[in-house]
Amino acid sequence: MTQWKKVKIGEFLTEREGRYKPDDDKVSKCKRLDKIDFSGTIHLSDKPTKTDMIIVHPGDLVISGINVAKGAVTVYKGDEPVCATIHYSSYTFDSSKVDLDYFKFFVKSPAFISALQKQVKGGIKTEIKPKHLLPLEITIPDLQTQQEIVKKISLQLQKTEQFFEEIESQKKYAKLLRQNILQDAIEGKLTEDWRKTHPVIKGDPYYDVEALFEHISKERDNKKKQKKLSPITDDEKLFEIPESWKWVRLDDLFEHKTGKTLNGVNNKGNIIRKYITTSNLYWDFFDFDNVKEMRFTEDEIRKYSIKKGDLLVCEGGDVGRAAIWNYDYSVCYQNHVHRLRFYYPINLRFYYFILFFYKLSGYIESQAKGMGIQGLSSKRLGLFVFPLPPLKEQEEIVNKVESLLAKVTELENQITEREQLAKQLMQSILQDAFEEK
């Protein structure tokens, strides 16, 4: 009968010590480990960081403290040392005591999760650092049995891994399908047949884009004297649009304003309002769980309030992330959020879909380059070019897109269910493998 014994992980793993500032000569010229995906593949990057660093040497075991239990564990097989932020840890290991593949499987198993929950304060919700990992007491068999377990797991997981590969392909397909629907929508392809039965009616903004733009421009000029926008060049036009549409800039359509940063210390206001930040703003919805409340003056409320029908866009973070405020009450917002308020009623969902497509296609990030960590400036966003269809066609496009995207969402839900089943199967295999016999 195989003998299992209790050992501390520190008996076979030894932390690679050393912590460096990002500008330290020892790390400043190294490539940086950007992430370890859940399959154990390392991705390197040249992007700078302000976080303290460690050095990873060829042959080291590298562990993501945040995602270790999801499989973000691997051996670095490069030829030159790389650096990583302190959210990672690097180890040498004693191969006479532990089979490395056995350990990599073990940290994905329910047995590892159970050990963390029993011995680490905060359990799997804690970022796992060497001080948590190395003293962790686990039960393992002898080396030969470890290697036999690895062979058994590998055979059982072959079909599961194929399942996961298929799921990843399905996810990519669903994302591409969503992008193609949006692209066809904003290029006018979804409404080609509709236009054949709904010709231009001169002077009617519902069927004549020039009449619509005239109404928008008039309302824009009535607000206040506006700076004349530069003409849109052919190079700026991102794709072909129908002849009955028109290219415009974002600032043609929207009164555009960023909010105010208030820290609650030097704030002298006496009116309490909820305060929306980029951490509350997601694609097409708002997270109200951690909304702050701040004190505002009456003047600040006039300047920095959101009202129903405003389109909000993130300046930084997940740059370009957008949602429509569809609530009857008003809140204020921070300076890293752009508030777009139309001059003349247009279909906000249509313009939300344009921003979503611009995000998926990479256009927003391309425009944010060079803007620093703050992301997309007001000036740059105001110059974005948008297609403008007549009002009725905007409505028709939105109806078609909503219907098609609902089907994509249904497909994505099915993919998620398959992924959960695959994860349950994998956990069952690992649970069985790491039970003492």
Contact 245, 388 (CB under 8 A): yes
Please indicate, yes or no, whether residues 229 and 319 belong to a single structural domain of this protein: yes
Same domain, 131 and 166: no
Whether 214 and 350 share a structural domain: yes
Residue 264: pLDDT above 90?
Answer: no
> To 10 degrees, what angle do helices 391-433 and 110-119 make?
90
Range of the domain at 351: 201-389
For the record, the structure tokens of 370 come out as: 């060079």
Contact 15, 91 (CB under 8 A): yes
For residues 119 and 161, membership in a common domain is answered with: no
Q: Same domain for 216 and 112?
A: no
Averaged confidence pLDDT in the chain: 88
CATH code of the domain containing 222: 3.90.220.20
Q: What 3 state SS string does 3-59 have?
A: CCEEEEHHHCEEECCCCECCCCHHHHCCCEEEEECCCCCEEEECCCCCCCEEEECCC
What would the pLDDT profile of 231-263 be if each residue is shown by its tens digit?
A: 999 999 999 999 999 999 999 999 989 987 766
pLDDT category of residue 372 using cuts at 50, 70 and 90: very low
Interatomic CA distance for residues 307 and 255, integer angstroms: 13
Cβ of 29: how many Cβ atoms within 10 Å?
A: 7
Phi, then psi, of 120 in degrees rounded to 5: -115, 125
| Three-state secondary structure call for residue 268 | coil
Q: Does residue 296 belong to any structural domain of this protein? A: yes
Task: Count the residues in the chain.
Answer: 437
The pLDDT of residue 328: 92
Q: Is 189 within a domain?
A: no
Instruction: Give domain status of residue 75, yes or no.
Output: yes
365 and 405 fall within a common domain:
no
The answer on 154 and 27 residing in a single domain is no
Q: Answer yes or no: is pLDDT of 181 > 80.
A: yes
- Judge whether 182 lies within some domain: no
Q: Are residues 233 and 162 in the same domain?
A: no
Q: Answer for the pair 110, 79: CB distance below 8 angstroms, yes or no.
A: no
Task: Kindly give the residue spans of alpha helices, DSSP state H, lying in 237-335.
Answer: 250-253, 298-303
Give the 3-state secondary structure of residue 255. strand
Kindly state whether residue 194 falls inside one of the protein's structural domains: no
First CA to last CA distance, the chain? 8
Whether 125 shows a pLDDT value over 70: the answer reads no
- Domain assignment present for residue 326? The answer is yes
Number of compact structural domains in the chain: 3
Q: Do both 356 and 398 map to the same domain?
A: no
Same domain for 78 and 162, yes or no, is no
Whole-number pLDDT of residue 436: 59
Give the Cα separation of 432 and 437 in Å (integer): 10
pLDDT digits (tens, 9 = 90+) for 281-329: 999 999 988 888 888 888 888 889 999 999 999 987 788 999 999 999 9
Are 236 and 349 found together in one domain? yes
> How is residue 203 written in tokens?
């002077």
Q: Which residues of 207-221 are buried (b: 16+ CB within 10 A; e: fewer)?
A: bbbebbbebbbeebe
Other beta carbons within 10 Å of 160: 16
> 15 and 1 in contact (C-beta within 8 Å)?
no
pLDDT band at 123; cut points 50, 70, 90: low
Q: Are 210 and 323 in a shared domain?
A: yes
Render pLDDT for 206-239 as a digit per residue (tens, 0 to 9).
Answer: 999 999 999 999 999 887 666 778 899 999 999 9
